[in-house]
């Protein structure tokens, strides 16, 4: 067998051992399948690293999580790509290897196909070797196959929510035809890629139901080994999450199969699914690290300001965009006065410092080791980024407690609430919203969307309806949890809440297109650009 050489596209290079590729370019660094995967241990070592590759593509600094978070106002930062790509007016995602941000939106493409490569090679080795099957045993084979299908679901689903199209690949994919020419099918649209992902999740669920295996923490970095039944529940929850997250527009979000989402939520996890991202073992989450980092991060007023019921938020919005700061012209600080206990209490900075909320606070050098004024920098990148508040729900991350909620049970609850809402069961949706709403100091709502607390108070000064209250709870209860640690981006995209000009998806990386000679390179986003958000549902002043 002759191997793939340098210069070939990631999609081919990374799954080059899936089939007997007969190309003339030798690559001594790529051993063939038979030599690399000769034993059951070889297969498990390769297979076990597949989720790690998916995780790296989702959560490391080079990926898109930080700028997706700032684009959706989940947090605010002027630094690096997070600041540049969340500038106002929104810039386009420039699909050019020479562009400074190119790596940040192409990184998931590379690492998800590496995950698919590992899963495909392992599954193909099992299918083609009785020695490996005997070495694994019946439960070992079930475990490898269920885990492999789960990773295939995760990787394809992630590609579907990010890119306009992608290749669906697994252990059956034929890379070349009889003449040795590339035989990959054309990339599929994101809906078809998501359908494939859901199918892989279903297979993982079915296989898990046949076994009593456990998955080691080296494969899935949970605090205890994941049982077969737990894997099935996680797969159901991922199906619910990704069905909703793939929508690019409000029309697509409404058209989601919400009955299926609700069914998967009910069959899914019954508590937070936490990962132990121990940096000493090679696991970590840079989006959490820098998205909540002391001196790097602050609350973004555009969405979070809707907690304020005093009129300060509307007063801030009335100021021209480039003149907005954390202090009004009369010297008053822009503070939120709100009954929502997630935010601090008090009418002065000093009072709010002394009375932090359960999720947000005003940090000080004396109490927290740093002062919020440290992030009031780079006014040329937008003083509208500045606020007094900092989200500290992941402060434990800096104390080497690397617990991360990959699936937050409140996220699942709000997905079900959204499904009930779209199905017309407003009372059922309200009852789920109230579980966290009332716990955070707000009055209960009902099927009519009664909002006596007036949180959220929208940019136009009106009190949010039931759907806005639902969105509010989901945003605040699952901030940074799952979906590249930027769940606000994917929800805001489907709800129509992204700021005008924000890209709605990423293109296939230009280098892939050039090497495969498939089509010209293309870009998305920017005001007036292709697949760019129109003016948001909130109609923020300054959107144009």
Cα separation, 152 vs 167, whole angstroms? 12
Cα separation, 344 vs 354, whole angstroms? 8
Of the pLDDT bands very low, low, confident and very high (cuts 50, 70, 90), residue 22 is very low
CB atoms within 10 A of CB 283: 17
pLDDT for residue 25 is more than 50? no
| Global confidence as pTM | 0.94
54 or 136: whose pLDDT is higher? 54
Q: Is 175 helix (H, G, I), strand (E, B) or coil?
A: coil
Structure confidence at residue 291 (pLDDT): 86
Structure confidence at residue 33 (pLDDT): 54
pLDDT for residue 5 is more than 90? no
CB atoms within 10 A of CB 447: 15
Structure confidence at residue 14 (pLDDT): 62
386 close to 373: Cβ distance less than 8 angstroms: no
pLDDT for residue 224 is more than 90? yes
Structure confidence at residue 384 (pLDDT): 96
8-14 LR contacts (CB < 8 Å, sep 24+): 8/515, 9/511, 9/512, 9/515, 9/516, 10/109, 10/110, 10/113, 10/509, 10/512, 11/113, 11/167, 11/169, 11/184, 11/512, 11/516, 12/175, 12/182, 12/184, 14/110, 14/113, 14/114, 14/116, 14/117
Of the pLDDT bands very low, low, confident and very high (cuts 50, 70, 90), residue 16 is very low
140 close to 129: Cβ distance less than 8 angstroms: no
pLDDT for residue 27 is more than 60? no
Cα separation, 537 vs 250, whole angstroms? 10
Cα separation, 277 vs 382, whole angstroms? 33
Mean pLDDT for 154-179 is 91
pLDDT for residue 23 is more than 50? no
Dig out the tokens for 359 from the structure: 């999720």
pLDDT tens-digit series, residues 235-264: 999 999 999 999 999 999 999 999 999 999
Residues 6+ apart with CB under 8 A from 196: 156, 168, 188
% pLDDT > 90, the chain: 77
Q: Which of 531, 301, 199, 268 is nearest to 407 (CA)?
A: 268
Q: For the domain 10-269, what is the CATH code?
A: 1.25.40
pLDDT tens-digit series, residues 45-104: 888 899 999 999 999 988 999 999 999 999 999 877 778 899 999 999 999 999 999 999
487 close to 481: Cβ distance less than 8 angstroms: yes
DSSP 383: G
Mean pLDDT for 214-236 is 97
402 close to 283: Cβ distance less than 8 angstroms: yes
Of the pLDDT bands very low, low, confident and very high (cuts 50, 70, 90), residue 21 is very low
Cα separation, 194 vs 192, whole angstroms? 5
pLDDT tens-digit series, residues 502-515: 999 999 999 999 98
Rg of the chain in Å (alpha carbons):
24
% pLDDT > 70, the chain: 92
pLDDT tens-digit series, residues 356-393: 999 999 999 999 989 999 899 889 999 999 999 999 99
pLDDT for residue 203 is more than 90? yes
Structure confidence at residue 180 (pLDDT): 67
pLDDT for residue 24 is more than 50? no
Backbone angles phi, psi at 416, to 5 degrees: -65, -40
For helices 409-422 and 228-245, give the axis angle rounded to 10 degrees: 50
pLDDT tens-digit series, residues 71-83: 999 999 987 777 8
Q: Is 271 helix (H, G, I), strand (E, B) or coil?
A: coil
pLDDT for residue 9 is more than 70? no
Structure confidence at residue 34 (pLDDT): 58
pLDDT for residue 209 is more than 70? yes
Structure confidence at residue 542 (pLDDT): 86
Structure confidence at residue 455 (pLDDT): 98
Of the pLDDT bands very low, low, confident and very high (cuts 50, 70, 90), residue 233 is very high
pLDDT for residue 35 is more than 70? no
Cα separation, 17 vs 159, whole angstroms? 21
Cα separation, 521 vs 511, whole angstroms? 8
Q: Is 208 helix (H, G, I), strand (E, B) or coil?
A: helix
Cα separation, 342 vs 439, whole angstroms? 10
How buried is residue 263: exposed, middle or buried, by Cβ count under 10 Å (0-12/13-18/19+)? middle
Structure confidence at residue 12 (pLDDT): 62
Cα separation, 46 vs 15, whole angstroms? 13
Question: CATH 1.25.40 occupies which residues in the chain?
Answer: 10-269
Of the pLDDT bands very low, low, confident and very high (cuts 50, 70, 90), residue 30 is very low
Cα separation, 69 vs 490, whole angstroms? 10
Q: How far apart are the first and last CA of the chain?
A: 59
Mean pLDDT for 451-457 is 98
pLDDT tens-digit series, residues 311-329: 999 999 999 999 999 999 9
Structure confidence at residue 18 (pLDDT): 40
Cα separation, 541 vs 241, whole angstroms? 32
């Amino acid at each position: 067998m002759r191997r793939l050489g340098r210069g070939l596209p990631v999609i081919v290079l990374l799954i080059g051992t899936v089939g007997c590729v007969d190309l003339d370019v030798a690559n001594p660094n790529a051993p063939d399948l038979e030599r690399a995967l000769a034993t059951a241990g070889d297969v498990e070592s390769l297979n076990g690293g597949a989720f790690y590759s998916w995780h790296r593509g989702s959560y490391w600094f080079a990926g898109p999580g930080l700028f997706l978070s700032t684009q959706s106002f989940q947090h605010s930062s002027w630094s690096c790509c997070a600041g540049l790509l969340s500038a106002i007016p929104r810039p386009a995602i420039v699909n050019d290897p020479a562009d400074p941000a190119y790596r940040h939106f192409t990184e998931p493409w590379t690492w998800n196909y590496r995950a698919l490569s590992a899963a495909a090679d392992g599954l193909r080795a099992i299918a083609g070797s009785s020695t490996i099957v005997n070495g694994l045993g019946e439960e070992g084979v079930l475990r490898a196959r269920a885990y492999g299908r789960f990773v295939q679901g995760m990787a394809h689903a992630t590609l579907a929510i990010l890119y306009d199209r992608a290749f669906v690949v697994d252990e059956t994919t034929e890379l070349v035809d009889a003449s040795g020419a590339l035989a990959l099918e054309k990339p599929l649209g994101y809906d078809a890629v998501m359908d494939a992902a859901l199918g892989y999740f279903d297979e993982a669920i079915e296989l898990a139901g046949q076994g009593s295996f456990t998955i080691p923490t080296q494969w899935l970095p949970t605090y205890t080994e994941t049982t077969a039944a737990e894997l099935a529940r996680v797969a159901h929850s991922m199906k619910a999450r990704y069905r909703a997250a793939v929508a690019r527009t409000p029309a697509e979000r409404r058209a989601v199969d919400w009955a299926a989402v609700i069914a998967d939520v009910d069959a899914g996890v019954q508590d937070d699914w936490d990962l132990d991202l121990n940096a000493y073992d090679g696991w970590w989450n840079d989006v959490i690290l820098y998205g909540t980092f002391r001196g790097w991060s602050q609350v973004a007023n555009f969405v979070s300001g809707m907690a304020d019921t005093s009129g300060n938020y509307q007063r801030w919005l009335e100021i021209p965009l480039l003149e907005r700061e954390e202090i009004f012209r009369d010297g008053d600080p822009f503070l939120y006065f709100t009954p929502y206990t997630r935010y601090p209490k008090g009418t002065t900075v000093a009072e709010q410092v002394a009375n932090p909320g359960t999720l947000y606070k005003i940090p000080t050098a004396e109490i927290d080791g740093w002062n919020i004024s440290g992030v009031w920098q780079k006014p040329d990148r937008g003083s509208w980024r500045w606020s007094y508040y900092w989200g500290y729900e992941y402060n434990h991350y800096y104390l080497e407690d690397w617990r991360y909620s990959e699936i937050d049970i409140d996220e699942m609850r709000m997905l079900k609430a959204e499904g009930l809402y779209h199905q017309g069961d407003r009372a059922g949706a309200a009852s789920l919203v109230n579980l966290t709403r009332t716990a955070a100091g707000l009055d209960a709502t009902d099927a009519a969307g009664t909002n006596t607390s007036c949180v959220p108070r929208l940019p136009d000064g009106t009190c949010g309806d039931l759907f806005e209250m639902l969105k509010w709870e989901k945003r605040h209860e699952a901030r940074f949890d799952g979906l590249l640690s930027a769940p606000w981006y994917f929800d805001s995209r489907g709800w129509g809440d992204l700021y005008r000009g924000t890209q709605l998806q990423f293109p296939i990386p230009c280098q892939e297109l050039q090497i495969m000679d498939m089509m010209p390179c293309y870009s998305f986003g920017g005001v007036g650009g292709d697949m760019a958000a129109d003016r948001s549902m909130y109609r923020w002043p300054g959107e144009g």
